[in-house]
Amino acid sequence: MNVGILMNVFANNDHYLNDLKITVDKLRASDNFLIIAHAFPDGDTIGSSFALCMSLIKIGKHARVICSDSIPTKYEYIYSSLIQSDFEAKFIIATDIADTNLFGEKLQEYVGCVNLCIDHHISNKKYAEFTLLDAKAAATCEIIADVIKLLGVEFDNVIADSIYTGLATDTGCFRYSNTTPKTLRCAADMIEFGAKSAIINKRMFETNSRARLEIERSAMNSLEFFCHEKAVLICITLDMLAKAGATELDLEGIPSLPVRIEGVIVGITIKEKSTGHYKISVRTNNGVNASKICASLGGGGHAAAAGCQFDGTLEQVKNIMIEIVNKELG
Amino acid sequence: MNVGILMNVFANNDHYLNDLKITVDKLRASDNFLIIAHAFPDGDTIGSSFALCMSLIKIGKHARVICSDSIPTKYEYIYSSLIQSDFEAKFIIATDIADTNLFGEKLQEYVGCVNLCIDHHISNKKYAEFTLLDAKAAATCEIIADVIKLLGVEFDNVIADSIYTGLATDTGCFRYSNTTPKTLRCAADMIEFGAKSAIINKRMFETNSRARLEIERSAMNSLEFFCHEKAVLICITLDMLAKAGATELDLEGIPSLPVRIEGVIVGITIKEKSTGHYKISVRTNNGVNASKICASLGGGGHAAAAGCQFDGTLEQVKNIMIEIVNKELG
């Protein structure tokens, strides 16, 4: 193991390092690992689970990954090379799962018997026997990379692809504020270990489905400025979704589009969930309190991203949101 | 200077390291530096020029940056803190400029008297007395960071902001294939030196002007699929530009949007430059030769990105491009 890698591990605080050692001791002492990825799996839970699984297999252990939902085919470069072995599970690991309600319908039997949870969510409910948590990590994959290093497993290109995927997807390709020097250095290591970063980035960030294109186009066509162009509103109705052939999965990231317009400080996205029932996402810039705006309709969230619900007509929900925002921005 | 930084510098090949030493010797031995940023300045030439200028001033030299065009206000966090000193220029430096035709109209007097060029373009014309070139560098800022390190200048947050800006803008925020482990580690160093990476990323990658929004929206509304949905065509007419209040500057990156659609392997963007005169940009995936497609109309370029021109009506240019692409894709 080279000095650079060890320095990377030890750059963290003592508490984390201690928990990392406990984690690795547990992994060394156990076998027959069942690794749980969360429901509606994303790049971080998939990358974390498979990178850990492959590493455990590399040191002669039995391990497999399970998930309540099927894993999207765009991640097949991670899981396709893995031979799933059949064995009786003895040690249950959850990756990137803050709360057991994210296990999904099919994996409820494992709630209450998780031996180890590896996660980066500060909101982690500590439901596992032991939790390795680093809330400063941009992705759980960043923590998994430390575990693999300390386990003494040599990174190969598939493990590197897995880790890189989690780092890139959880940071919007290193764009979001959660990206730290450690995240970037971990990504650099993974590229040196053979991660096909450019191909992964293209697949994750530069490929849109036709349905996504259509729904984004019609959402942007619904755009209305108000409050002296400081606020913007877009709508996504059931009819628009049907015409675009789109589902909920195609809407990822759309609520953050309106506030990207120069000068806009409040962006409202109104989604029709079922006839007459609307979910509203509010995103803000410049310190405007999104949570306060949503509280007017009984919702809540964070300072820059919040949500609420409304029953009525599209006209009514638009009018009430415009009224609330006008009042808030004075 | 910490060991990690030195290792970063010396990880390069001998030839580069030698040129780096010559560069630093020249900077130490000279004074009254005039640093040229290229016309239509981007994040990399601006970041490079100002980072070098600030570093030279820090070691007691006189230095200032000039550019044929005005520097967009979105970069003001880089240049606003710099006190421009007045002195007779004695040593001319060009950053990120492959060819003197990029000096711009107002700086033609400096063509032929450049003492030092620092650049990462493999196409560099070697017009300077001495050229420090690293074609593997993702951005000229990556090379400038090495120069500053070897000069022994301590990075401050403004220099770090400048370098980070060049790295991020030339790599699409570390998304493009030019991003190397060295690029990512250099960005990590800059964040540690105080670069406000999250704010810079938001400004560079998540802020669109109203005009850009409007022209992108109408371009996407012009989208037509053809050749069994394997090819896509969008148009930007003078009328659309006028309605959107947009200029050429608002069109950056638009030609790469059509090929992001899943399954699309040829994306055509037709721009009306003046009445009856069209510029066509072709982008391809999966090894389709964009240059060959454009050669049919006397144009050319690279394998995945090429261009050509056409005089006639919009209908004619659309038809001829569809015909050429249909023939190419068989």
Give B84's pLDDT tier (boundaries 50, 70, 90).
Answer: low
CB spacing of A262 vs B210 below 8 angstroms: yes
Is A149 a residue whose pLDDT tops 50?
yes
**Burial class of residue A330 (count of CB atoms within 10 Å of its CB; 0-12, 13-18, 19+):** exposed
Query: A143 or A209: whose pLDDT is higher?
Result: A143
> Could you read off the pLDDT of B196-252 as tens digits, one per residue?
999 999 999 988 888 999 999 999 999 999 999 999 999 999 999 999 999 887 898
| Of the listed ranges A284-288, B44-48, B160-164, the one predicted with least confidence | A284-288
pLDDT of residue B86: 82
Report how many Cβ contacts below 8 Å link chain A to chain B.
103
Which residue matches tokens 């002007």? Answer: B209
pLDDT of residue B7: 44
Provide the β-strand partners of residue A278. Answer: A272, A310
CB spacing of B217 vs A220 below 8 angstroms: yes
In SS3 terms, B33-99 reads as EEEEECCCCCHHHHHHHHHHHHHHHHCCCCEEEEECCCCCHHHHHHHCCCCCCCCCCCEEEEECCCC
Q: Are the C-beta atoms of B306 and B300 separated by less than 8 Å?
A: yes
Highest mean pLDDT out of B2-16, B62-76, B135-149: B135-149
CB spacing of B173 vs A174 below 8 angstroms: yes
Is B1 a residue whose pLDDT tops 50?
no
CA distance A173 to chain B (A): 6
Which residue matches tokens 């990358």? Answer: A47
- Rounded Cα distance between B92 and B35, Å, is 6
pLDDT of residue B253: 84
Query: A162 or B81: whose pLDDT is higher?
Result: A162
Residue of A nearest to B179 (CA): A198
CA distance A303 to chain B (A): 17
> Could you read off the pLDDT of A234-251 as tens digits, one per residue?
999 999 999 999 988 789
- The per-residue b/e assignment along B279-316, b for 16 or more CB within 10 angstroms, e otherwise, is bbbbbbbeebbbbebbeebebebeebbbbbebeeeeee
- Rounded Cα distance between B171 and B8, Å, is 19
pLDDT of residue B9: 45
- Strand order, beta sheet including A91-95: A63-67, A33-37, A91-95, A116-119, A130-133
What's the whole-number mean pLDDT along residues A81-105? 90
pLDDT of residue B286: 87
- Rounded Cα distance between B7 and B14, Å, is 13
| Of the listed ranges A60-69, A176-185, A239-248, A299-308, the one predicted with least confidence | A299-308
Ranges assigned E (strand) in chain A = 33-37, 63-67, 91-95, 116-119, 130-133, 224-226, 231-236, 266-274, 277-284, 300-301, 305-311
Structure tokens at B274: 């003046």
Average pLDDT, chain A: 92
> Could you read off the pLDDT of B15-42 as tens digits, one per residue?
999 999 999 999 999 999 999 999 989 9
CA distance B201 to chain A (A): 6
Residue of B nearest to A182 (CA): B188
Which residue matches tokens 């990206």? Answer: A179
Is B154 a residue whose pLDDT tops 50?
yes
Angle between helix axes A14-29 and A140-151 (nearest 10 degrees) is: 60
Give A314's pLDDT tier (boundaries 50, 70, 90).
Answer: very high
CB spacing of B181 vs A189 below 8 angstroms: yes
Structure tokens at A52: 């850990």
Chain B residues touching residue A205 (CB < 8 angstroms): 175
pLDDT of residue B12: 56
Is A9 a residue whose pLDDT tops 50?
no
ipTM, two decimals, is 0.86
Is A6 a residue whose pLDDT tops 60?
no
CA distance A34 to chain B (A): 33
CA distance A212 to chain B (A): 9
CB spacing of B174 vs A177 below 8 angstroms: no
Is B11 a residue whose pLDDT tops 70?
no
- Rounded Cα distance between A236 and A249, Å, is 13
pLDDT of residue B187: 98
Q: What percentage of chain B carries pLDDT values higher than 90?
A: 83
Angle between helix axes A157-170 and A140-151 (nearest 10 degrees) is: 150
Phi/psi of residue A295, nearest 5 degrees = -60, -30
- Comparing CB atoms, the residue among B192, B208, B220 nearest residue A260 is B208
Biggest distance spanned by C-alpha atoms of chain B: 65
Is A268 a residue whose pLDDT tops 70?
yes
CB spacing of A201 vs B263 below 8 angstroms: no
Side-chain-side CA neighbours of residue A109 (13 Å): 7
What's the whole-number mean pLDDT along residues A167-189? 96
- Is 0.80 topped by the overall pTM? yes
pLDDT of residue B5: 43
pLDDT of residue A168: 97
Is B62 a residue whose pLDDT tops 80?
yes
Residue of B nearest to A178 (CA): B198
CB spacing of A198 vs B177 below 8 angstroms: yes
Q: Are the C-beta atoms of B263 and A211 separated by less than 8 Å?
A: no
CB spacing of B180 vs A191 below 8 angstroms: yes
- Rounded Cα distance between A218 and A204, Å, is 22
- Rounded Cα distance between B239 and A226, Å, is 26
pLDDT of residue A3: 36
Report chain A residues touching chain B, CB-CB < 8 A.
4, 7, 172-177, 179-182, 184-185, 187-189, 191-192, 197-198, 201, 205-210, 213, 217, 220-221, 223, 229, 256, 260-263
pLDDT of residue A4: 41
Residue of B nearest to A225 (CA): B210
